[in-house]
Amino acid sequence: MTPGLGLRGAAAGRQGAAAGAAGRCGTIGHMALDPKIADRLKRTPDGLVPAIVQQHDTGEVLMLAWMDDEALHRTLTTGRATYWSRSRGEYWVKGDTSGHVQWVRHVALDCDGDTVLLKVDQVGAACHTGDRTCFDADVLDVTGAP
């Protein structure tokens, strides 16, 4: 089995789980990530890649989330940032609950296909704490040079 086929199988499993969740069925249409993209992805053993989310105009790094093939496919084809929630075990369309939608402006893979960069237009706060970004509250001291 090729890595691409294996991942699509894993994504299909999650797809089934998501289809069983109330209110999500309507978002499921074309299920397969373009194989030319899927073949370039390098995933964790769980079939995921980290997605860095950045505000497209200010450059603020808003948060980091995780995607499987299906989440990336939905993100690219709907323009709504969509992740795989590791804690809840389901797809997560950012803003569906909070209203804090991320409209997708730009998506890129990194040089070795194991990270996604999303540039978005963030509505309201990106962080569930109410902060604009998830990196606002816990700054660490850099004590060394330069």
CB of 68 to a second copy, least distance (A): 15
CB of 10 to a second copy, least distance (A): 17
- In one-letter notation, the amino acid at residue 70 is E
60 binds a second copy (CB under 8 A): yes
Binding mask 17-56 for a second copy (x = CB under 8 A): --------------------x--x---------x-x-x--
Q: Is the peptide bond before 146 cis (omega within 30 degrees of 0)?
A: yes
For the chain, how big is the Rg over CA atoms in Å? 16
DSSP string for 61-88? EEEEEEE-HHHHHHHHHHSB-EEEETTT
| Residue range at the interface with a second copy (CB under 8 A); choices 7-15, 19-27, 75-83, 91-99 | 75-83
| Residue range at the interface with a second copy (CB under 8 A); choices 4-12, 15-23, 90-98, 115-123 | 115-123
Reported for 21-25, long-range contacts at CB under 8 A and 24+ positions apart, including other chains, are 21/90, 24/90, 24/91
CB of 114 to a second copy, least distance (A): 8
